[in-house]
Chains A and B, each alone.
Chain A
């Protein structure tokens, strides 16, 4: 099949199977790519997309199956072979060394290692030429650490082009871009395809799949479940194929907004480690959800951390029910009624090697409910844990077992349980459904809506526009450490939110003015 003159089939994956322990990440997956074609690999988190591409690129060794580039089988588990065959990969977590220069990042690995001298001048000229040819301008001599996310992605693509890639694989390339930046990226990719490159991009966003691909391969549970020509399919069909059932969004009753619960006045953080906040003010009412969207790295993490009590702002304060929070510590925040769902479950939310009950009570150890005279009340802690495991349907957890073994969804249920059980008046939920599958997401959303309906003030910080639109009553964007005016959720669409995330607040300001949601203090 892959023979014939002027081979147009540049890449073929045949029967790829990969197992991790007891989970089957890829199950007999086959797909092919033609020259000059852009295909989208669509699937939910955990569908096996990234694993498949890592096998293609030689990071993992497949248990079975074969990768053929232009008819030639690639040796397994050798990324050098993949590079030499003309496969280039742009990782979701950029594979760049921040302390090295752009040129060093691009050149590394492209020359034979044992040479007395690396030929920088030639390399620089070639890089600049490629940059000009494909419309990806960069300064070769700056340190990567100083570049913005979009620029780093450019470097990643240039790296692949420098390696003479003819097949380009992009893993979730728009995860860190604004809507407009993403459009720009796809325009560039389209141009590259016209120049003969073949492109696979991985995505779970239907919108961009529909607008940027020629063909869509849908992956679910590690298998290819469908393949469609993009112009012959619809968003709805793809959604159903991806999830395997019709997606139902939870019902959201209208908000019954009460008094102001949380008021942030001119919060400023000049962090060296954290992204800065440059004067953030907002009000959060009882019984409402305020959604904050933004491209990662614009200060939303800092905002969540300040409200969570991890460190004080350099200026400005937080008022809870009108009373300023005097000390910004975690116990004070919790005592003031703030419930916190951390952005990164694994790194912050849980301690994988501690017991379930310890994870439940660790943040409330200071409370007399769970300790007396410095001694942990293990009976009470276990009992509270048992209740949470039941009430929040945490599957696979034992009170004394380690949390490490739980799935992401069940971990999040545990965190939700420990937070909501305390009946918080304010809930800070940062990226609450990141990395979860559709079923678990629905569960998380239901809990957040319940909390709101119970009268809690919910601050939802998320990069998932659909989630923010579905859950919020009002929506702000954070860009460069500043907060946009809040618009009513029913006025939001992807285009407007994209502009807001990019820091263009003209339209949003007008809408906010008109709807009276601007939150002027």
Chain B
């Protein structure tokens, strides 16, 4: 019991929660945006992989850290465009296309990585984002280091939650996005072009997924290695369901999730006799649990996974 209390009362643990949550927040917002406009994007896992790779590679070959994030966002948007082109105007299966994007994006990432770094026994490193203490606020005991001594992308992710919530619920654009995800025919009848709106929204969402991946190589770690995404993309898909498609709850879900992750990492080091794999399984089991609990409560966007073809009902 004292062990658990010690873990919970350390500022380091809570600081880690926010760090671990950041890619999940960004990825979940990306998935959420795509689903809110009516398209499932199972490309998330691959787009995150590519974002992690290209962000890292940009910085490794001399680019600025922000250039790395921008490259990841740009490439994410390109994969988003590919996904959108296939699922929106062509109306192809969103499941299979998304998986295809994931397989393609991740294998291309490994290919490019191997081309750039043909032989390396240990992956080369870069100088990652440093924590950016907010003046004065970061001096508050406990809360200061936890909330106000994070890296810039973490602040960005938190700001994005608020921005996205505002856009979705307070602006005409957000209303158009939600309408398109609920009933594209209705949107079209009001003079909105659902196809164009879907394509653009998916690109924006996918850009966020790219940034989510890049956070891992540019802030959480400092190198790229294959399989580093470890199903985080799929977890984001589960988190969107847990969040009932709301940005605020997405933040909550990501934090909750990150809390368990940070907690199990620390617990691993102090608890003997339990195989470490059990701890590693927890995030996945937790995601499945979240899906089961929320499955009945979810108010799914009604047009999710329904292709929209003009003139067909």
Contact = CB atoms under 8 A, between A and B. Distances in A.
User: Do A and B touch each other in the complex, judged by CB within 8 A?
Assistant: yes
Interface string A73-103: 0000001100110000101011111111000
B183 A79 contact: no
A60 interface: yes
A118 B190 contact: no
Nearest to B300: A99
B182 to A, nearest CB: 4
B179 interface: yes
A109 B182 contact: no
B273 interface: no
B178 interface: yes
A230 interface: no
B173 A114 contact: yes
B302 interface: yes
A57 B188 CA distance: 10
Given A93-B313, A115-B171, A99 B302 contact: yes
Interface string B37-61: 0000000000000000000000000
Contacts of B178: 97, 100, 104
A1 interface: no
A79 B189 contact: yes
Q: Is the interface of B mostly helix, strand, loop or mixed?
A: helix
B172 A97 contact: no
A116 interface: yes
Interface string B53-78: 00000000000000000000000000
Interface in B293-313: 299, 301-302, 310-311, 313
A79 B311 contact: no
A110 B183 CA distance: 16
B172 A111 contact: yes
Contacts of A254: none
Contacts of A98: 182-183, 302
B188 A108 contact: no
Contact of B190 (A93, A94, A99, A159): A159
A99 B299 contact: yes
A493 to B, nearest CB: 34
A17 to B, nearest CB: 16
B192 interface: yes
Interface residues on A, range: 20 to 34
A118 B170 contact: yes
B270 interface: no
Interface string B169-193: 0111101101100110111111110
Contacts of B175: 100, 104, 107-108, 118
Contacts of A91: 185, 189
A99 B182 contact: yes
B15 to A, nearest CB: 34
Contacts of A107: 172, 175
Contacts of B176: 108-109, 113
Contact of B191 (A96, A99, A109, A114): A109
Nearest to B311: A60
Interface in A35-89: 54, 57, 59-60, 79-80, 83-84, 89
Interface string B257-297: 00000000000000000000000000000000000000000
A281 interface: no
Contacts of A108: 172, 175-176, 179, 186-187, 190, 192
A109 B187 contact: yes
Interface residues of B, number: 24
A173 to B, nearest CB: 15
A105 interface: yes
Nearest to A159: B190
Contacts of B311: 54, 59-60
Interface in A321-349: none
Contacts of A97: 178-179, 182-183, 186-187, 302
A88 to B, nearest CB: 9
A185 B170 CA distance: 34
A154 to B, nearest CB: 15
A133 interface: no
Contacts of B191: 79-80, 83-84, 109
A113 B182 CA distance: 18
A112 interface: yes
A60 B190 CA distance: 15
Given A98-B302, A99-B299, A118-B170, A59 B179 contact: no
A117 interface: yes
Nearest to B172: A111
B171 A110 contact: no
A95 B186 CA distance: 4
Contacts of B170: 116-118
In this complex, which of B170, B175, B187, B189 has the most chain A Cβ atoms within 10 angstroms of its Cβ? B189
A93 B184 CA distance: 13
Contacts of B173: 113-115
B75 to A, nearest CB: 25
B92 to A, nearest CB: 17
A116 B169 CA distance: 11
A516 to B, nearest CB: 46
Contacts of B189: 57, 79, 89, 91, 95
Contacts of A60: 310-311
Contacts of A54: 311
Contacts of B182: 97-100
A253 B304 CA distance: 51
Contact of A115 (B172, B179, B188, B190): B172
A364 to B, nearest CB: 31
A100 B310 CA distance: 22
A404 B188 CA distance: 28
In this complex, which of B171, B185, B191, B311 has the most chain A Cβ atoms within 10 angstroms of its Cβ? B191
Contact of A116 (B171, B185, B301): B171
Nearest to B174: A118
B171 A117 contact: yes
Contacts of A117: 170-171
Contacts of B310: 59-60
A96 B172 contact: no
In this complex, which of B178, B185, B186 has the most chain A Cβ atoms within 10 angstroms of its Cβ? B186
A109 B190 contact: yes
Given A79-B189, A109-B190, A159-B190, A95 B171 contact: no
Contacts of B172: 107-108, 111-115, 118
A163 B178 CA distance: 20
Nearest to A81: B191
In this complex, which of A115, A118, A159 has the most chain B Cβ atoms within 10 angstroms of its Cβ? A118
A392 B185 CA distance: 38
Contact of A118 (B171, B183, B186, B188): B171
B179 A110 contact: no
Nearest 6 A/B pairs, CB to CB: A109-B190, A97-B182, A80-B191, A95-B186, A95-B189, A111-B172
Given A97-B187, A99-B299, A107-B175, 12 more contacts: A54-B311, A57-B189, A59-B310, A79-B188, A79-B191, A94-B186, A95-B188, A97-B186, A99-B182, A109-B191, A116-B171, A118-B172
Interface of B: 170-173, 175-176, 178-179, 182-183, 185-192, 299, 301-302, 310-311, 313
7 contacts: A54-B311, A59-B311, A91-B185, A104-B175, A113-B192, A115-B173, A163-B190
